Amino acid sequence: MEFIYYFGDVFTPINFGLLLLGTIGGLILGATPGLSPTMAVALLIPFTFQLEAAQGLILLGAAYTSTVAGGAVSAILLKIPGAPANIATTLDGHAMALKGEGAKALQLSFLSSAVGGVFGVLLLIFLTPVLAQWALAFGPSHLFWLAILGVTVIGSLDSKSVVKGLLSGCIGLWLATIGFDDIMGAQRFIFHPSLGGGINIIAALIGLFAIPQVITMFAKGRKNDGAEAIQVQKHPIKGAISELFRYKRAVGIGTITGSIIGLIPGVGGQIAGLVAYDQSKKFSPDRDKFGTGHPEGLIAAESANNAMVGPSLVPLLTLSIPGSPTAAVLLGGLLIHGIFPGTDLFDNHPDVAWTFINSMLIGQILMCIFGLYVAGMAARVAQVPQSMMAAIVLGLAVFGSYSVQSSMGDVYVMASLGVMMYFLERFGFSAAPLVLGLILGPIAESNFIQGSMIATATDGLAPYFLTGTLNLFLIAVVILSILYSGYMELRTKRYTSKEEIMA
Amino acid sequence: MKTLLAGAAIALMGLTQTATADGHANYPERPIMMMVSYGAGGATDFQARIVTMTAGNEDALGMPVAIINKPGAGGRVGWNWLAGQAEADGYTLGAYNVPHFIAQSIKGGVEYSTESFEPIANWGADPAVLVVGADSAFNTLQDVVDFAKANPGKLTTSGAGLFVGHHIAALQMEKAGDMKMAYIPTKGGGAAAMKAVIAGDVMAGINNLSDAFRAASAGNVKILAVADLERNEFLPDVPTMMESGLAVDNASVNFRGVMVPKGTPQGIIDKLAATVPMMFENKRVAGKMKAGGSPMHIMNRDEVLAMWAAREETLKELLAGL
């Protein structure tokens, strides 16, 4: 209960001002296609050098929280996820926007973000020591099986046909092998210097989602007079709250999945939303409506990606291991003031630790309030004529992919993947499984290599990967997931018709 | 239009001429960029930002230094860029990590070598240390060596990747102790390698002194030995590997410093080489570095040139068999 004593510190004028600044700035940065949470936090590093330890962390924490939630704005209105965390949001969120429910989708996304986010921070406050053990429990073999579990989702994600879903997943897995392999240092498929570092996930995201949209918008703009602009109906906030209560199951699944997956160093943030989306789809009686603008999918995805924020800081705050690039920046913010995460932080600098954690709790609520305000303005964004919107998005896409690593190579990668995706979409392939392949490929590969090196030095491959409670549990879930997909496929007897292939 | 272009060209020529004519006395006339080949928030990035934070002072360069990150492939992306694409005009600096970039250039597949860069000054030296989990049965380096000798290839040891300081230290330990370890490179740098030690995924690990110092003060690991010539001020009680009977020198120490691409005007190199070490000696810089647990080691241009040459020789010999 120690944390309650430090709530007052959050509301000192400077601290609260920074919290507001971080939250509003974060929402704007997050809503801009191409600016990821990591980028936003990295931009703030120089400022944290000048601020007090607690103040710097408040600014960084607020920006982290609200960029994750702000990414939903471009995901819903433009179908461009700002970061991997928002991929699942595009699936139903953008479909809702197309039906004229953009405002409702935004309200739901911010409300569920706040619910998930508050739960995640509460976990961080009360269960940190237990969670730290959990985070350590995942060794290479477990992460490998977790990635395989993700692969089993690929086929059914946002595709009319399982075969096409698997094919685009394979393209993603192949793209993931490009570049210098980080473990062995081998060079693979580097036919241009821009590819030396591999395909950057943010550049790929922008290309795969934004460029097909831009091309489609330009194509439409030639044909008619802009009547195609998305209509946004006004939607009362009260309605959104009661809607949220109606979909308690989706909120619960999203929040819990997000919290658990968020804990795992290096994996969590990117796939929490997608796994939560898939789980709530499997448990929902309305699973056929997923992908057509069903609020449940949106709620699960958004509550998951904010629930992950709190637990994702557990490895950093307790073990001093930054589990993500964002956490690494937070670590820098602490070290510059001579504070070491771990027992030192909580024993000797409780004011810093608890003020920071409390500010994240309050930041979640502020983020929700400002987010709902933004949702009200969504109509205006959507009124921008498509031809103009296409130009703006294209500009942001180039800027966003360049700024990730200040590299023109990433812009070329973004553009080529985008044009490829435009044509793939014509043939019924979709971007989400492709990106999932791109994310999961390196996780599965590096953990398999590492695990097999450890295994050959100790007990051998089979005992290392196939025994142990956690391994067996994950393998069981993988098998169940495959069986379930197969069963659903047979039960609905949905064969891909020739028209669907041609469509 | 033609006259305009011609005018602009003449004006530009005039500009460059004044710059060369005065022997770069006015350098720097605009902010300088420094490329860090690792991501924002990593140890190299963090230290680079601290040591350059006083660059704008009148007694230093008089112009701020902006950090630009070009991460990827263990630093190869950034150094390739610096060697091949960066302009050698004195306004593009780069941070180096020795032995990383030298080892990579020996193994091949990159567009740079020590010949591609001109060192300016060194700011830090982060030795590799041998760590084991807090509840490990190993208490001294001798315990680890005994185990590795009795069980060849069974001692799983994590490190940040291949051909980085950690890997070099492991290779040197194997050579010095005439033993075989199982070196496990991790993806995700030193943090992931440290996690593997704390979680017990591996039996031991080689990691940066600065990160290990933090993990040890949090009670998560034991530091058994330092791979350097003398004990470190952060860890006065931890013996060097040589003291413990393993002939491992400082070839794996992660030296960090500033360099420029080859072709940068000599006048600018001289000016930087004279000012930058003084900039590192600033009290505020030293205070922040110490607070963050990052050991400093300032060396001037000549010392760095000698260090690079010595490293290259040791590494060529060490990596020849791989």
Tell me whether residue B2 is in a domain: no
Query: Is the Cβ of A321 closer than 8 Å to some Cβ of chain B?
Result: yes
Q: What are phi and psi of B33, to 5 degrees?
A: -110, 140
B134 and B82 fall within a common domain: no
* CATH number of the domain residue B183 falls in: 3.40.190.10
pLDDT of residue B205: 95
Q: What is the 3-state secondary structure (H, E, C) of A342-405?
A: CHHHHHHCHHHHHHHHHHHHHHHHHHHHHHHHHHHHHHHHHHCCHHHHHHHHHHHHHHHHHHHH
Q: Contacts of residue B187 in chain A, CB cutoff 8 Å? A: 182-183, 442, 446, 450
pLDDT of residue A231: 67
**Domain end point (choices B227, B245, B269):** B227
CA distance to partner chain B, nearest, from residue A426 (Å): 33
Rounded to whole angstroms, the Cα distance separating A100 from A96 reads 7
Residues 6+ apart with CB under 8 A from A306: A65, A68, A69, A112, A113, A114, A116, A117, A120, A258, A364
Tell me whether residue B247 is in a domain: no
CB contact under 8 Å between A328 and B194, yes or no, is: no
For B85, the domain range is 31-126+253-319
Q: Are A435 and A87 in contact (CB under 8 A)?
A: yes
Q: What is the mean pLDDT of chain B?
A: 87
Query: Is the Cβ of A344 closer than 8 Å to some Cβ of chain B?
Result: yes
Q: Contacts of residue B197 in chain A, CB cutoff 8 Å? A: none
Q: Which of residues 240-279 of A touch B (CB under 8 A)?
A: 265-266
For residue A412, give both structure tokens.
Answer: 């070329």
Q: Contacts of residue A52 in chain B, CB cutoff 8 Å? A: none
Tell me whether residue B277 is in a domain: yes
Mean pLDDT (whole number) for A72-89: 85
B259 in the Ramachandran plot: left (φ > 0), alpha (ψ -120 to 50) or beta? Answer: beta
Q: Of B184, B195, B218, which is closest to A340 when you measure between CB atoms?
A: B218
**Domain end point (choices B193, B227, B261):** B227
Q: How confident is the model at residue A43 (pLDDT cuts 50, 70, 90)?
A: confident
Q: Reply yes or no on whether the pLDDT at B226 is more than 90.
A: yes
CB contact under 8 Å between A335 and B46, yes or no, is: yes
Mean pLDDT (whole number) for A356-370: 92
* CATH number of the domain residue B309 falls in: 3.40.190.150
What pairing do the DSSP bridges indicate for beta strands B254-261 and B92-98? antiparallel
Q: How confident is the model at residue B41 (pLDDT cuts 50, 70, 90)?
A: confident
Q: Any idea what DSSP says for residue A277?
A: H
Q: How confident is the model at residue A226 (pLDDT cuts 50, 70, 90)?
A: very low
pLDDT of residue A500: 53
Q: Are B226 and B209 in contact (CB under 8 A)?
A: yes
CB contact under 8 Å between A450 and B156, yes or no, is: no
Tell me whether residue B16 is in a domain: no
What angle separates helix A53-78 from helix A37-50, to the nearest 10 degrees?
160
pLDDT of residue B16: 47
pLDDT of residue A224: 54
Q: Reply yes or no on whether the pLDDT at A498 is more than 60.
A: no
Amino acid at A184: M
**Domain end point (choices B189, B209, B227):** B227
Q: Which of residues 82-141 of A touch B (CB under 8 A)?
A: 136-137, 139-140
Q: A387-417 in b/e burial notation, b at 16+ Cβ within 10 A?
A: eebbbebbebbbebbbbbbebebbbbbbbeb
**pLDDT tens figures, B292-307:** 888 899 999 999 999 9
Q: How confident is the model at residue B186 (pLDDT cuts 50, 70, 90)?
A: confident
B276 and B208 fall within a common domain: no
Query: Is the Cβ of A408 closer than 8 Å to some Cβ of chain B?
Result: no
Mean pLDDT (whole number) for A330-355: 84
B155 and B216 fall within a common domain: yes
Smallest CA–CA distance from B75 into chain A, residue: A197
**pLDDT tens figures, A296-320:** 999 999 999 899 888 888 888 888 8
How many domains does chain B divide into?
Answer: 2
Q: Of B162, B201, B291, which is closest to A139 when you measure between CB atoms?
A: B201
pLDDT of residue B32: 93
Smallest CA–CA distance from B154 into chain A, residue: A457
Q: Reply yes or no on whether the pLDDT at B224 is more than 90.
A: yes
Distances (CA, A) of A266 to A261, A271, A307, B195: 10, 10, 16, 11
**pLDDT tens figures, B127-156:** 999 999 999 999 999 999 999 999 999 999
For residue A477, give both structure tokens.
Answer: 């879930």
Higher-confidence position of A183 and A23:
A23
Distances (CA, A) of A94 to A288, A387, A390: 17, 19, 16
B212 and B271 fall within a common domain: no
Tell me whether residue A64 is exposed, middle or buried, using C-beta atoms within 10 angstroms of its C-beta: 0 to 12, 13 to 18, 19 or more.
buried
Q: Of A187, A320, A406, which is closest to B70 when you measure between CB atoms?
A: A406
Q: Reply yes or no on whether the pLDDT at B122 is more than 90.
A: yes
Q: Are B110 and A197 in contact (CB under 8 A)?
A: no
B163 and B181 fall within a common domain: yes
Tell me whether residue B243 is in a domain: no
Q: Which of B77, B101, B167 to mutate to test the interface with A (most CBs of A within 10 A)?
A: B77
State the complex-level ipTM: 0.83
Tell me whether residue B207 is in a domain: yes
pLDDT of residue A118: 94
Rounded to whole angstroms, the Cα distance separating B102 from A160 reads 51
The pTM of the whole model exceeds 0.90:
no
pLDDT of residue A159: 63
Q: Reply yes or no on whether the pLDDT at B17 is more than 50.
A: no
Q: Contacts of residue A456 in chain B, CB cutoff 8 Å? A: 182
Smallest CA–CA distance from A142 into chain B, residue: B201
B153 and B70 fall within a common domain: no
CB contact under 8 Å between A183 and B187, yes or no, is: yes
Tell me whether residue B21 is in a domain: no
Mean pLDDT (whole number) for B99-117: 90
pLDDT of residue A390: 86
From the list A104, A443, A41, A92, the residue with the least C-alpha distance to A250 is: A92
Q: Are A297 and A290 in contact (CB under 8 A)?
A: yes
Query: Is the Cβ of A12 closer than 8 Å to some Cβ of chain B?
Result: no
Location of structure tokens 């694409």: B85
Query: Is the Cβ of A468 closer than 8 Å to some Cβ of chain B?
Result: no
Q: How confident is the model at residue A454 (pLDDT cuts 50, 70, 90)?
A: very high
Q: Which of A321, A349, A439 to mutate to test the interface with B (most CBs of B within 10 A)?
A: A321
**pLDDT tens figures, A163-198:** 888 888 899 999 999 988 777 777 888 888 778 788
Tell me whether residue B304 is in a domain: yes
pLDDT of residue B14: 45
Higher-confidence position of B161 and B235:
B235
Q: Contacts of residue B166 in chain A, CB cutoff 8 Å? A: none
B163 in the Ramachandran plot: left (φ > 0), alpha (ψ -120 to 50) or beta? Answer: left
Q: What is the 3-state secondary structure (H, E, C) of chain B?
A: CHHHHHHHHHHHHHHHHHHHHCCCCCCCCCCEEEEECCCCCCHHHHHHHHHCCCCCCCCCCCCCEEEEECCCHHHHHHHHHHHHCCCCCCCEEEEEEECHHHHHHHHCCCCCCHHHEEEEEEEEEECEEEEEECCCCCCCHHHHHHHHHHCCCCCEEEECCCCCHHHHHHHHHHHHHCCCCEEEECCCHHHHHHHHHHHCCCCEEEEEHHHHHHHHHCCCEEEEEEECCCCECCECCCCECCCCCCCCCCCCCEEEEEEEECCCCHHHHHHHHHHHHHHHCCHHHHHHHHHCCCCEEEECHHHHHHHHHHHHHHHHHHHCCC
Amino acid at A61: G
B122 and B257 fall within a common domain: yes
pLDDT of residue A502: 52
What percent of chain A has a predicted confidence (pLDDT) above 90?
23
Mean pLDDT (whole number) for B206-235: 90
